[in-house]
Structure formats: C-alpha cells, structure tokens
Amino acid sequence: MSTTALEPIAHHGSVVEHEEHHGGLIPIAPERQLQFNRLGMWLFIISETFLFAGILIMRIVLGRDTEGFVRPELSQGLGLLITSILLASSFFVNRGEVAIKHNDRFNFNLSIFLALVLGLVFVVGVAYEWNEVHKDFGPATGPVINGMFYFMTGIHALHVITGIIFLLVVFLNGIRGKYSAKSHWGVESAALYWHFVDVVWVFFYVALYLIGTVAEPMK
C-alpha cells in the first residue's frame, strides 16, 4: 500500500483526491457541485413562486366589491415606466451574463452596473407611487384596496432590494476579476434571481394597474 496520505482517483471523468484513512472526505467534483448549486437555486425559486402565487390569489379574492373587480387609481404612465425600467435592467443582466461567458470583463462590469442603476430607479419609482397613492388616493377608498397595493408592491420591492444587493456583490467581485468564462456561478445565480423578480412584477403590474375598474371613494 502506498504511504502517501492522498492519492488521485478517477470520478466521473475528473480526477479528485481522497484520504486513505477511514473517515476521510472525498471532495465533490466542480461539475457536480455546480449541479447541486443550480438545483438548490431552482428549489428556492419554486418556493418563492408559491409565495407570489398566493399573493396574486389574495389580490383576486379580495379585489372584489359589490360592483365587481376593482383596482387602485394609479398612474398608468408611471406604472408603465417603472415596468419598462425593470425589464431593461433584466436585459442588461442577461447581457452581462453573456459577456462573462466570453470573458468580456468590460461589458460584463458595465452591464451589471447599468442593471444596478435601473434597479435603484425602479425602487425610487415605487416609493414615489406610494407617496402619490397616499396623497391622492388616501384612506377614503378603504383599507382593503390600499393595504393590497402597499403589501404587493412592498414585498416585491423588498425582493428587488435583495436582488440589488446580489448584483452589487457581483459587480464588486467582477471589478476584482473573480469571475471567468469557466467560473461564474455567482453571476448565474444572481441573474436567475433577478429575472424571476422581474417576471413576478409583470404579473403584479397587470393585477394592480390593468385589471378591473377603479375603486370608488368611500362616502
């Protein structure tokens, strides 16, 4: 028997090392670790999907009164603008992901930076809409409609802020040159989360801005 503490073994087409003594750990091959990472991320996305689906169902159930399905009186122009901004940010995230796959670090950093800026602008736009609703729409329309709007946009904004933090980490790591065409799981996971949050907003936008008639003020 060899006296070396470690020896290479073949494992699914790659070479890994293991300790000869009992109880030694066999490192997971990078390809297999990436598969586990992706599986974990998708399971997280699925769990979040159930959360947002439940919120949309709540919107449908509670968004009715004696006159039918109602919605808040929101600025259609602002709603379309912030939606376009968020979709544009998703475009730049995808552009950055493609760039790093080709080791194009300049376009990668630029794209992620632009996505960050657009994400922040989106949050500011939502905050402005909150202020307008509170000022013009107010409590006169009833707590259900108001609460629904604040809850849906608020919980989504929290997810967007989380995504912004992820993108900021990716951007800082990108500046330090920590990603390459062969190693960029951080970019991939942040991009997947960001695209998911964008898709959720499209459904929220339709549910809050487009479907139903404007609720009448309470007497």
Comparison of pLDDT for 133 and 117, the residue scoring more: 117
Range 195-218 average pLDDT: 85
Contacts of 39 (CB under 8 A, 6+ apart): none
Q: How many CB atoms lie within 10 A of CB 3?
A: 5
Opening angle at CA 159, ends 85 and 128, nearest 5: 50
Confidence of residue 166 (pLDDT cuts 50, 70, 90): very high
Out of 3-12, 33-42, 140-149, 204-213, pick the least confident. Answer: 3-12
- Full-model pTM: 0.80
Domains recognised in the chain with CATH numbers = 28-214 (1.20.120.80)
What's the pLDDT at 135? 67
- The pLDDT tens digits of the residues spanning 64-114 come to 766 667 777 788 999 999 999 999 999 999 999 999 999 999 999 999 999
Confidence of residue 12 (pLDDT cuts 50, 70, 90): very low
Comparison of pLDDT for 85 and 179, the residue scoring more: 85
- pLDDT greater than 70 at residue 179: yes
CA–CA distance, 51 with 205 (Å, rounded to integer): 17
Comparison of pLDDT for 54 and 66, the residue scoring more: 54
Range 126-143 average pLDDT: 70
What's the pLDDT at 16? 43
Burial class (CB in 10 A: 0-12, 13-18, 19+), 186: middle
